[in-house]
Chains A and B, each alone.
Chain A
Amino acid sequence: MSKDRLEIPDYNSLFSEDRFVQQRENKRQFEAPCSEQETAEALAYSQSAEYLEKNFNRKAVVINPHKACQPLGSIMAALGFEKTLPFVHGSQGCNSYFRSHLSRHFKEPTPAVSSSMTEDAAVFGGMSNLIDGLENSIALYKPEMVALCTTCMAEVIGDDLSSFIGNARQKGVISEDFPVAFCNTPSFVGSHITGYDSMLKGILSYLYDRSGIQAAPGSGEETGEKLNVMLGFEPYTGNFAEIRKILNAFDTKYTFLGDHSGNYDSPATGEYEYYYGGTKLDDVPLAANALATLSLQKYTLKKTQDYIGGTWKQLIAAMSTPLGITGTDKLLDTISELTGLPVPASLTEERGRVVDALMDSHPYIHGKRVALVGDPDLLIGLIGFCLETGMEPVHIVCSNGDVDFNDVKFKEEAEALLASSPYGSEAAVYIGKDLWHMRSLLLNDPVDLAIGSSHLKFAAKDANVPLIRVGFPIFDRHHMHRYPVLGYQGALNLLSLIVNTVLDELDRNHSGFNFDLVR
């Protein structure tokens, strides 16, 4: 049967074949080849402190970025709402990137359209593209709401979304009451998390304003006891399920503000529908009357938090992604405080089980030096998890950790967190840096493990460090996003990922003597 077996993929071993070894040699003549000695020298130089400094002084060019642009996040936010079609106003290329990017991570289709602006739009403005686009896409995809955002192109020429939408209504292309939420998401400001925030705020404020409801936090029979919950730019569909499990255990009522887990974890039924799940549009104005809003990505959701606090006058409990035991404790404490309900015994028990698991594994992870890459809220969670398990964060790179989160600053918080534990004493936090900086750090000052997205795999490979894939995007592994990383269950998942990678490494690099079975 070997003939029928699938070989996946066929080029990985190809280059060790003679003909390719030969071919590679032949080709070297074109490559202005340098001697082996020169190569070795260059490698040594890239590991030197001298190059590290030079690399960190680099101002102009970004090499291997670890961030995407605003509209990408905005599409994710839009897909958190029922029957909502994300619409990107700009030229068409960006949209095709966003769709691929999100689809490659979640392994699911991403419905999103673009107004396909071309050079005449650049000169005369993109109004007719936008209006035609609305007409076509509504006919084709039959959404109940369109969520409109811009690309850098529309921003540079200064297109005015609000008046364009008004004109589309006047022309009768969309009816007076067809909802079109919108926000501005120039790519030259912020990153995908900024875009998520802008769109979420855009949708909430739009739906609230048009409803005519007056916010009265904590009031109203059917809505008053509810919590609003926001997960933010959430690459894990499993995290939604985990939060749901926790809130149900509390037996509290809640509304997710933005829940894209339906769209990115839909069943294969034999029939593709464009829209799956999501927050109900009618629930949004009522959410203004909830008791409080729980925000689980405080850096990502800055603008939305301000809006809810300011306009809905609601109590906001904001924290970074609740990872690990301490992170989850804080989450449960907060829910308990906000709702006045006690922490259910089932969760206390779960906590105990995960603590037990951490104890079982601690000898293998204690003192492991770790490099971390990610978005700000994820990093805070990961740092916390490392510290409580005795792992030592060493290099922390955040491409989009702007200093500009008003009252809260990511770098300061991360450093304070690290300073709170002896395991954080060697760590350094870098914001606005890229993966080429990380590569220098890894080569210069080696670590045992790297934690980050798939993009980190190149630097990790150069430095011969195993990569534990956490965050966004994860293109080269399957189904990671289906397992939660937050909550106690998430802590267990993270632990298993990490400790088993360590054990795999032990086995793989084992010399063969005393190759042990029990650990």
Chain B
Amino acid sequence: MDPVRKDEFDSEACGSLSPKSKPCPRPKPGEAAGGCSFDGAQITLLPIMDAAHLVHGPIACAGNSWESRGALSSGPSLSQYGFATDLNDSDIIFGGEKKLKESIDYIAGRFAPPAIFVYSTCVTALIGEDMDAVCKEAGERLHIPVIPVNSPGFVGSKNLGNRLAGDALLQYVIGTGEPEPGTPLGVNLIGEYNIAGEMWDIEKLMNSAGIAVTSRITGDARYKEITWAHRAKVNMVVCSRALLGLAKEMESRYGIPYFEGSFYGAKETTYSLRQMAYLMNDREMERRVDRLTEREESRLAMDLRPYRKLLKGKKAVLYTGGVKSWSVISALKELGVQVVGVGTNKSTEDDVRRIADRVGDDTEYIPEGGASRILKTVRERKADIMIAGGRNMYVAMKEQIPFIDINQERHKAYAGYEGLLRLAKELTYSLANPIWKLASSPAPWDKEAPPYDR
């Protein structure tokens, strides 16, 4: 069996259907590159909190990754369990299908999850396991959905994995259930994973404007709510181009209009809420949104005043997945922070265009190159702070650069109006901590100047 459909590679791998768009950038050998497609697929689906997620492969992929994601749950925790078939050498030779089947049976029997997601990995894809067939058979026998996710690491980047996870949802989940009668229908949030609880802030906002969330795809989601995602009135793709394909497909299949938006920064948040109301085609809702956003924005402006004063003119280097870059730039700009360098290694052309719209010409683009490249930019541009993912944090510490974690392992929610306030606080704290002064001043007996002037 072909592990992935051929067309995933040839065209538009990042979700855009326009013929001009290039595939996701390929990883370059010999670099300290980011995650794999398996990683991407799992990140997308793990926030379905009540489902079981079973990794089919040797211990590598599961043993290294379980329980280290930052997507929070408000209830069930089954998704946090590290399930793995843990194939050994004899399974590699004789095949692991039996083990897979038994694993599914055990999970279904013991944990009674509403669904089981089964992930292929490099090894199971290479040895040609027929995962689809095993899942199908088990699902029919056990009367629960058993969903194959064909996204082995070697097919490409994390972004492609996000997209393949979206395909699995389209193929096996969305459209298979119906909401209870009387459930208010509204917006699907696609590509929002509830990192540090961001989904909850967003939901609170939407609720105060009277906009219902139909399905969370997938932050703090329950399996069932995704089965009826096709009944939503609007799809919002939250700042994740990788799942844009999902929204496009839902538009053509179910006629649900979609838009791309973000909740980073007050402007983007207001725009997103307005867009929802507009696409819901509900005048009353639009008025409510206007009142809410006006109120929230002016309150936020008050709260932000002291921080803005401190942050004005500060320079930041931003290095994160392309999907987040442009929206975080907006948020930073609202706080008066200038982005002097920005990572574009996972960005698509569209992302880069959006970045360019927001930063102007004097910002350095960092296409690749890992830590050394980022550090060079920080030094050359005399940046005050680095905003990146956890793996780069320890490098920043070595260089005594104030740092904020923006990726999936962070503990702070930065979405929405409240989130922007939190981001402002974090930036100020991080910049103001006395340790930087202590670190950059030499020991009293050592007159040497710090390595570079910031």
Chain A residues near B (Cβ < 8 Å): 4, 6, 8-11, 14-15, 19-20, 23-24, 27-32, 54, 58-65, 67-69, 71-72, 87, 90-101, 103-104, 107-119, 121-122, 129-130, 132-138, 140-141, 151-153, 156-157, 186-189, 191, 266, 268-272, 436, 455, 458, 475
Interface hit among B71-79, B291-299, B331-339, B359-367? B71-79
Query: Is B155 among interface residues, defined by CB-CB distance under 8 A?
Result: yes
Interface residues of B in 366-385 (CB under 8 A from A): 369-372, 375
Given A20-B74, A31-B50, A272-B375, A69-B64 contact (CB < 8 Å): yes
A272 touches B451 (CB 8 A): no
Query: Is B39 among interface residues, defined by CB-CB distance under 8 A?
Result: yes
Contacts of B75 in A (CB 8 A): 24, 27-28, 31
Query: Is B319 among interface residues, defined by CB-CB distance under 8 A?
Result: no
A189 touches B89 (CB 8 A): yes
Contacts of B369 in A (CB 8 A): 140
B64 touches A94 (CB 8 A): yes
Smallest CB–CB gap between A263 and chain B, Å? 11
For the complex, what is the distance from the CA of A505 to the CA of B440, rounded to whole Å? 41
> Which listed residue (A118, A269, A475) contacts B154, Cβ 8 A?
A118
Q: How many residues of B contact A (CB 8 A)?
A: 104
B102 touches A94 (CB 8 A): no
Given A10-B411, A24-B75, A137-B31, A156-B59 contact (CB < 8 Å): no
B59 touches A118 (CB 8 A): no
Contacts of A64 in B (CB 8 A): 66-67, 81-82
Smallest CB–CB gap between B419 and chain A, Å? 11
For the complex, what is the distance from the CA of A58 to the CA of B63, rounded to whole Å? 18
13 contacts between A and B (CB under 8 A): A10-B412, A58-B106, A60-B99, A61-B84, A61-B106, A92-B27, A93-B38, A97-B35, A97-B39, A153-B154, A188-B59, A191-B59, A191-B63
A65 touches B86 (CB 8 A): yes
Contacts of B99 in A (CB 8 A): 60-61
B31 touches A113 (CB 8 A): yes
Report, nearest first, the 6 A-B pairs whose CB atoms are least far apart. A93-B36, A136-B30, A60-B102, A133-B29, A61-B103, A133-B30
Given A8-B411, A68-B59, A132-B29, A59-B81 contact (CB < 8 Å): no
Smallest CB–CB gap between B158 and chain A, Å? 8
Chain B residues near A (Cβ < 8 Å): 3-4, 9, 26-39, 50, 54, 57-68, 72, 74-76, 80-89, 91-92, 98-103, 105-107, 110, 114, 122-123, 125-127, 152-156, 158, 180, 196-197, 200, 203-204, 222-225, 369-372, 375, 390-392, 394-395, 397-400, 411-413, 422, 425, 429, 439-440, 450-452
A188 touches B58 (CB 8 A): yes
B123 touches A119 (CB 8 A): no
For the complex, what is the distance from the CA of A8 to the CA of B430, rounded to whole Å? 13
Given A96-B33, A113-B30, A153-B122 contact (CB < 8 Å): yes
For the complex, what is the distance from the CA of A90 to the CA of B123, rounded to whole Å? 11
For the complex, what is the distance from the CA of A141 to the CA of B425, rounded to whole Å? 36
Smallest CB–CB gap between A17 and chain B, Å? 10
Among A10, A14, A96: residue with most chain B CB under 10 A: A96
Smallest CB–CB gap between B452 and chain A, Å? 7
A91 touches B58 (CB 8 A): no
Contacts of B62 in A (CB 8 A): 62, 65
For the complex, what is the distance from the CA of A28 to the CA of B35, rounded to whole Å? 34
A91 touches B154 (CB 8 A): yes
Given A67-B63, A118-B156, A30-B225 contact (CB < 8 Å): yes
A59 touches B102 (CB 8 A): yes
Contacts of B86 in A (CB 8 A): 62, 65
Further contacts, 13 of them, CB under 8 A, given A103-B390, A153-B153: A15-B74, A30-B222, A94-B64, A95-B32, A104-B68, A113-B33, A115-B30, A136-B28, A140-B370, A151-B122, A152-B92, A156-B122, A272-B375
Contacts of A118 in B (CB 8 A): 26-27, 154-156
> Which listed residue (A60, A90, A93) contacts B37, Cβ 8 A?
A93
B30 touches A271 (CB 8 A): no
> Which listed residue (A24, A67, A98) contacts B59, Cβ 8 A?
A67
Given A270-B399, A272-B398, A96-B39 contact (CB < 8 Å): yes
> Which listed residue (B32, B83, B398) contacts A62, Cβ 8 A?
B83
B31 touches A136 (CB 8 A): yes
> Which listed residue (B58, B153, B394) contacts A92, Cβ 8 A?
B153
A-B contact count (CB 8 A): 293
B398 touches A271 (CB 8 A): yes
A117 touches B33 (CB 8 A): no
> Which listed residue (A97, A99, A129) contacts B32, Cβ 8 A?
A99
A65 touches B82 (CB 8 A): yes
> Which listed residue (A100, A101, A140) contacts B31, Cβ 8 A?
A140
For the complex, what is the distance from the CA of A117 to the CA of B33, rounded to whole Å? 12
Smallest CB–CB gap between B439 and chain A, Å? 6
Given A270-B400, A270-B440, A100-B390 contact (CB < 8 Å): yes
Given A9-B411, A63-B83, A137-B399 contact (CB < 8 Å): no
For the complex, what is the distance from the CA of A69 to the CA of B60, rounded to whole Å? 5
A266, closest chain B residue (CB): B398
A188 touches B61 (CB 8 A): no
A96 touches B34 (CB 8 A): yes
Smallest CB–CB gap between B299 and chain A, Å? 15
Contacts of A121 in B (CB 8 A): 154
Among A118, A129, A436: residue with most chain B CB under 10 A: A118
Given A61-B107, A122-B154, A186-B89, A10-B126 contact (CB < 8 Å): no
B122 touches A92 (CB 8 A): no
Smallest CB–CB gap between A436 and chain B, Å? 8
Smallest CB–CB gap between B367 and chain A, Å? 13
A113 touches B27 (CB 8 A): no
For the complex, what is the distance from the CA of A27 to the CA of B180, rounded to whole Å? 13
Given A14-B200, A31-B50, A140-B370, A119-B84 contact (CB < 8 Å): no
For the complex, what is the distance from the CA of A437 to the CA of B28, rounded to whole Å? 41
For the complex, what is the distance from the CA of A92 to the CA of B159, rounded to whole Å? 13
B440, closest chain A residue (CB): A270
Smallest CB–CB gap between B151 and chain A, Å? 10
B27 touches A116 (CB 8 A): yes
For the complex, what is the distance from the CA of A98 to the CA of B89, rounded to whole Å? 21
